[in-house]
Chain A
Amino acid sequence: MSNPVFEVENLSLHYLTRFGNKIHAVTDVSFTMQPGEILGIAGESGCGKSTLVNGLMGLFIPPLHPTAGDVRVDGESLMNRGTEDIRENILARKVSMIPQGAFNALNPTRKVRDLAADVIAAHKQGANRKETYERLDERFALFFGQDAKRILDTYSVNLTAGERQRSVIGISTLLNPQMVIADEPTSALDVSTQKVVIKMIFELLDKGIFKSMIFITHELPLLRHVADNIAIMYAGEFVEKGTAQQIVFDPRHPYTKALMGAMLSAEPGQKSRKPVAIEGAPPSLAKPIEGCRFAERCPVARPECKLKKQELRTLADRLVRCDYAE
């Protein structure tokens, strides 16, 4: 086993409201990532995926605060460091993030080349403009090929959504970060564009531009193709973590099963299979919760589920947070 690229140990995060209440958005998340690995994180809206992303970058902007735990990139801890320090030394260099809908956030008054050159300049990496521009041409040629020069010298408004998203990914991986964290990178794109973007991500990973990636989405069928491992998140906790094959074809936690049941697909003969919605809403995280967090909505819940805290345990080669799962 080689050294893990990224290690997360018992990470808990909370938001501090202006009335002094704590909202425990992420509780006790642990995982490690090997070079070349893509980890998919899936869950409903509001389950803490995006909060976790901020924590993984070590970027704590109030009201978000760390409660406990540690995050390490190549052995270097990201906890308890100022935002300035993180921005200067970690972001883009070690850990890079592709935020949700980033392709709509490109400055329309500047060319893609200038936007990309800014990233290099901000991290004091480029010697002069000529060298920076050459570097950009080279990097963009990796995934745009012949089109690289045209894309770089266009204003972002004149590019299609797919070209913009690929430019954003190109820009965020300019400084060869160890880790890329992508928060719903393709959910606003149509299926054909999505495929092109995913292909580009695979190419960059193969060429060693970045070492490993966390891919956050709520589309489980997509994760089955993209990710090596999948973690399912519910109400701030990982409820199941295993390989993509295990999670998609053989889910064990009741929540994962319910998620799979809510999926739609365009395969012949699947029309009779009705997607089943999960009734109810996730619990409020303002108060500490005793017992299983999914108990309220769980189809197979037992009376004792609401009282007894569930811990992650190994079941059929993966981790499951349910004592009664089989």
Chain B
Amino acid sequence: MPNETPIFSAKNVVRTFGSGKKLIRAVDDVSFDIADQEIVSVVGGSGCGKSVLAKIMLDLYQPTSGTFLYEGHKITDQKSHWNEVQAVFQDPFSCFNQFFTIRAQLEAAFKIKKDKLTKAEISDRVDAGLLAVNVTPKDIEGKYPFELSGGQMQRMLLARIFALRPKVLIADEPTSMVDACVRANILDYLMKLKEELSMTIVFVTHDIGLAYYVSDRLFIMHQGKIVDSGIPDDVITKPQSQVTVKLLDDVPDIHKEWIKR
């Protein structure tokens, strides 16, 4: 059963960088609630503040002002926060250390967990995680990150999530580095994750097509503010903001006129 308390609840959250004339309001007076087991997508162009918002959710940045609550309380300790909230990032190559085998790194990820598991248990969980993303554990035995392709690496990041079983997943552009076939694959795995672990997922992306397909609710961000939000079909068919209209207009869709030559 979904919990009553919202997973994230933001009230007038502001995050600024720099000072004086060069002050940038990366996240500007943002308020929202994200319910338990909900899939929410934050969509916007480059530099709209969506990644900063994701980092606030991961406690990598603290809000300059406003309150940001996780399950109704303030985030105090990063380690205990990451026990429950985990992330998948855009570039898998910069997420793994080139000098250790993938398996060693997947197992090392369990150090963040509060309940300590035995070595055999960890090994089993990693195996299960790998199988969940259609990789036979034997295939990556003794392999280093540079021996795998981009799509395989992205799957390793997801295998880590399957193994760790976090409560909340923040996916920051998980598919922008991969081609369309691998993207469809990764989305399948993420949906499977959601089903099996009853997770809450926050997608951060500039691909409104992807967001429309996966999410229960969309937030459209522009210049640090959430300018449009709602269930995907409403946002797409009845956009409230010019930003959404422009975003939809700029996506090269198959059945729609785009730029005339």
Q: Spell out A's residues near B (CB within 8 Å).
A: 44-46, 160-161, 188-195, 198-199, 202, 206, 218-222, 224-226, 248-249, 258-259, 262-268, 270-271, 275-278
Contacts and interface: CB of A to CB of B under 8 A. Distances in A.
A44 B259 CA distance: 25
A262 B183 contact: yes
B236 A202 contact: no
25 contacts: A44-B179, A45-B151, A160-B46, A192-B45, A193-B45, A193-B46, A220-B180, A221-B252, A221-B253, A262-B180, A262-B181, A262-B183, A263-B180, A264-B207, A265-B251, A265-B253, A266-B209, A266-B212, A267-B236, A267-B255, A270-B213, A271-B213, A277-B184, A278-B181, A278-B184
A206 B259 CA distance: 14
Interface string B47-80: 1000000000000000000000000000000000
Contacts of A220: 180, 254
B26 to A, nearest CB: 15
A161 B181 CA distance: 26
A275 B191 CA distance: 12
Given A45-B178, A191-B208, A222 B252 contact: yes
Contacts of B255: 267
Contacts of A46: 149
B129 interface: no
B182 interface: yes
Contacts of B206: 190-191
Residue of B180, B183, B207, B246 most packed against chain A (CB within 10 A): B180
Interface in B130-156: 149-151
B3 interface: no
Interface residues of B, number: 42
Interface in B233-261: 233, 236-237, 246-248, 250-256, 258-259, 261
Contact of A264 (B178, B210, B247, B258): B210
A267 B253 contact: yes
Contacts of B183: 262, 264, 275
Contacts of B98: none
B188 interface: yes
Given A221-B252, A277-B188, A190 B212 contact: no
Pairs of residues from A and B, 5 with the lowest C-beta to C-beta distance, nearest first: A277-B184, A218-B179, A277-B185, A275-B184, A266-B209
B128 interface: no
A45 B45 contact: no
Contacts of B187: 275
A266 B180 contact: no
B184 A276 contact: yes
A190 B45 contact: yes
A225 B251 contact: no
A266 B252 contact: no
B166 interface: no
Contacts of A276: 184
